[in-house]
Amino acid sequence: MGGNALRAEDNVKERYQLAGCYVRGLRHTHKKDVWEQICEKHEEEFPEIRRCAPGTFNVRVTSPAGWHLPLDDQFRALAKRRGHGPKYRYYDGNYVSPLVLAVNINGRQVEAWFYAGSQNHRREGIVELISKDKIVKLLGLVHMDPVQLVVTEFWIPCGGMPAPPPGV
């Protein structure tokens, strides 16, 4: 380990809770071809995405009000700049957050990454998560069920986390 490398526990900026409710996703996000496009767009910064269950787990965050992903505007700008390449992979500014991870949902230990997808979701206070687990099935949730997330926020991206959107 290099002299400037942070130990994992030293890289934790804070741990906190988000509260809200499960919002059933759009059916098209679970179709194989759409999920394949999402994987293709983001596998460079997050190779683990191909091991995740298809689709996103959506939560309308009610507490704290107005919460959004740290550095969201900066990461979206990076992704949009990258999007003008030959595949237009990041044209819409979507990315997988390199700084936050849900580690517990409704008392169950999980590993769920925050996907910054739809800008409309941000305006509506909805966060999207991707996980290797099928969270809805794992927790037996139905539309509008209450959800409590325990989130770890990191100072800088670390092992197991996605990289920031690739540079131009």
Contact 34, 115 (CB under 8 A): no
Task: Tell me whether residue 148 is in a domain.
Answer: yes
Domain of 73, in residue numbers: 8-154
Which pLDDT does position 85 carry in this prediction? 56
Buried b (16+ CB within 10 A) or exposed e, 16-43: eebebbbbebeeebeeeeebeebbebbe
pLDDT tens-digit profile of 124-158? 889 999 999 999 999 999 999 999 999 999 998 87
The reply to whether the predicted model has a pTM over 0.75 is: yes
Q: In 10 A of CB 91, how many CB atoms? A: 15
Which pLDDT does position 102 carry in this prediction? 97
Task: Tell me whether residue 1 is in a domain.
Answer: no
Task: Tell me whether residue 164 is in a domain.
Answer: no
Instruction: Tell me the CATH number at 42.
Output: 2.40.30.30
Task: Tell me whether residue 159 is in a domain.
Answer: no
Q: Per-residue pLDDT averaged across 110-115, rounded?
A: 94
Which pLDDT does position 165 carry in this prediction? 72
pLDDT tens-digit profile of 29-56? 456 678 888 888 888 889 999 999 998 8
What's the domain count of the chain? 1
pLDDT band at 90 (very low <50, low <70, confident <90, very high): low
Lowest-pLDDT range, 48-57, 78-87, 103-112? 78-87
Which pLDDT does position 168 carry in this prediction? 43
Task: Tell me whether residue 29 is in a domain.
Answer: yes
- Provide, rounded to the nearest whole percent, the portion of the chain with pLDDT above 70: 83
- The dihedral through the CA atoms of 112, 116, 118, 120 has a sign that is positive
Which pLDDT does position 31 carry in this prediction? 63
